[in-house]
Amino acid sequence: MTAPLPHPLRSDALDNRARILDAARALFSAEGLDVPMREIARRAGVGPATLYRHFPTKQTLVADAFADQLHACRAIVDEGCADPDPWHGLCLVIQKICELHARDRGFTEAFLTSFPGVTDVAAGREYTLRAVAELAQRAKETGHLRSDFVLDDLILVLMANKGIHTASTDTRVMASRRFAGLVIQAFEARPQHAPLPPAARLAPAAPRGLPR
C-alpha cells in the first residue's frame, strides 16, 4: 500500500504562503534575520497561527524565502567552473555573485550566518565555497590569480559588498559591479587595469576640485 498523497493547498492558502514569503524577503533584506515572526505575519496580513501553519520555524521560512537565490548562486558557480579559462570563470563568479547579493542583502546575511537548522542554506554555502576554492586553485595554476589568495578573501568581499547601502536597487547593483571590478584587479597576479564598470553616484556631490 502506498501512502496517500498530501492534499494540495487551496488557492487562499497558496496566496497566504506567497504573501508570507514576500513579506519575509522584504523584512529580512531591510532588518536582517532577527526580525520577529509576528512582524512578518503583520506585514503579510495574516495571523501568527497562519504563518506557523505554513512555516513551523523561522529556519524553514529562511530556507524557503531564499530558495531561488540559492539555486541562482549554484548556477553561477557551475557556470564559472565550466569555463575552460579558470581565471575568466572566477571573474564571472565574483561579478555575478556580488550582483546577486547586492539585489538582496537579506540573502547575504542568510548565506554568511550560521543559522541553526537552515540545512539548505548551509549546504548551498558549502557547495559554493568548495567549488570556488577549486576554481581559484586552477586560476592560481595558470598564473592569473595571485598566489596568496585565500577563500576567506571571498567572504570578505561578500561582507564588504553587503555594506553598499543605497535607496535604489539599480544604484546598489551599479556600485556592486564597480566594486567587483576593483576586487578582480586586486586579485589578479598581473593586473591589466582593464576599464572599470561605470561608477554609481553615491555621494550628494563631489568635493570641489575632484572629478565627478
Question: What is the rounded distance in angstroms from the CA atom of residue 87 to the CA atom of residue 112?
Answer: 24
| pLDDT confidence of residue 204 | 61
Residues near 162 by beta carbon (within 8 Å), at least 6 away in sequence = 101, 105, 108, 109, 112
Q: How far is CA 193 from CA 20, 141, 149, 190, in A?
A: 46, 21, 18, 9
Find where cell 596568496 sits: 148
Radius of gyration of the chain (CA): 20
Amino acid 169: pLDDT: 87
Q: What is the pLDDT of residue 76?
A: 97
- What's the chain's average pLDDT? 87
Gap between the Cα atoms of 154 and 160, Å rounded: 10
Q: H helices of the chain, where? A: 11-31, 37-44, 48-54, 58-65, 67-82, 86-103, 105-112, 119-141, 151-162, 169-187
**Does the pTM of the predicted model rise above 0.75?**
yes
Q: Is the dihedral of CA 61, 169, 175, 88 positive or negative?
A: positive
**Dihedrals φ, ψ of 145, to 5°?**
-90, 135
pLDDT above 90 covers a percentage of the chain that reads 57
Q: Are 28 and 106 in contact (CB under 8 A)?
A: yes
Among the listed residues 38, 43, 36, 44, the one whose alpha carbon sits nearest the alpha carbon of residue 19:
44
Which domains does the chain possess?
12-65 (1.10.10.60), 67-187 (1.10.357)
List the chain residues with pLDDT less than 50.
1-6, 206
Q: What 3-state DSSP class applies to 212?
A: coil
Q: Residue 205's pLDDT is what?
A: 53
